[in-house]
Amino acid sequence: MEGKKFVVTGAASGIGAATARELIRRGARVIGVDRNPMDGLEHALQADLRDRQAIEELIALLPDDLDGLANVAGLPPTAHPGDVIRVNLAGLRHLTIGLIPKLRDGASIVNLVSSAGNRWAEHLDQIIEYEQLEWDDIDDFARRHHMDVEGGSYFFSKEALLVWTMRNRWTWIDRGIRINAVSPGPIDTPILPDFVTTLGPRAQRSLEATERLGTPEDVAPVVAFLLSDDSAWFRGSNLTPDGGLSAHMLLGEHGLH
């Protein structure tokens, strides 16, 4: 990855910061994006991904020769439901589409989803409805679907993001640009308590299904792999560094252990 140039959102902490460090270790140049200050990055831009205008200003500031984009920034389920959807889904998509002209041919896009997105098929009606929304409709959409209950906005944002990733597997194939997802399980970051508080027993069951909490360093190399040329035949894929959680869930749905 020597000399390649990547944008990493959420680069101030957690998986985003670990991904930035991993890419730099591999010789890449990283442009970090976060609404908070970013330590240790030579190139960093602060932007609030809840704000459509701020995203457009960010796009204008970024260079025209990018080799990839890692969409890592996200809000936990304790945040305002509309903001969760804006940052985790709407803003991410707006940034990604806006940067397509600035990506080199053969570039890679990686979206940080979550094991929370696994059950997307159960909410297809909501996902299809969301596809027709405008930016200003998001708060009303979240309110109508009671997404303030048990982290609903977070689960929806990750489910819809996974579907969007898969549906765009060939969208930019004429330029060799690919898009994939990474869905970690429970990760030991500062926002982990937000999940435990919001999801209660559901979060506890997820923690019990893995042998340990993951770390940002467990996930960063997976993101780096999908950004690298070694992942050239991955399109619309979803890699799951989750300590076996997704396998546990899938087997459980079919009565297997």
- The pairing of beta strand 29-34 with beta strand 5-9: parallel
- 66-117 tens-digit pLDDT: 999 999 999 999 999 999 999 999 999 999 999 999 999 999 999 999 988 8
Long-range contacts of 38-47 (CB under 8 A, 24+ apart): 38/11, 38/12, 39/12, 41/11, 44/11
Instruction: Could you please state the CATH topology (level 3) that the domain comprising 5-253 is classified under.
Output: Rossmann fold (3.40.50)
- 113-140 tens-digit pLDDT: 998 889 999 999 999 999 999 999 999 9
Predicted structure pTM score: 0.95
Strands (E), the chain: 5-9, 29-34, 43-46, 66-71, 103-112, 178-182, 238-239
For residue 161, pLDDT beyond 90: yes
- 6-65 tens-digit pLDDT: 999 999 999 999 999 999 999 999 999 999 999 999 999 999 999 999 999 999 999 999
Cβ atoms of residues 194 and 217 within 8 Å:
no
- 187-244 tens-digit pLDDT: 988 777 877 777 666 666 777 788 889 999 999 999 999 999 999 999 999 999 999 9
Crossing angle of helices 192-199/201-208, nearest 10°? 120
Residues 6+ apart with CB under 8 A from 32: 8, 11, 12, 16, 20, 38, 41, 43, 44, 45
Q: Is 130 a catalytic residue?
A: no
What is d(CA 238, CA 225) in angstroms, rounded to the nearest whole number? 12
Spot the catalytic one: 6, 130, 141, 154.
154
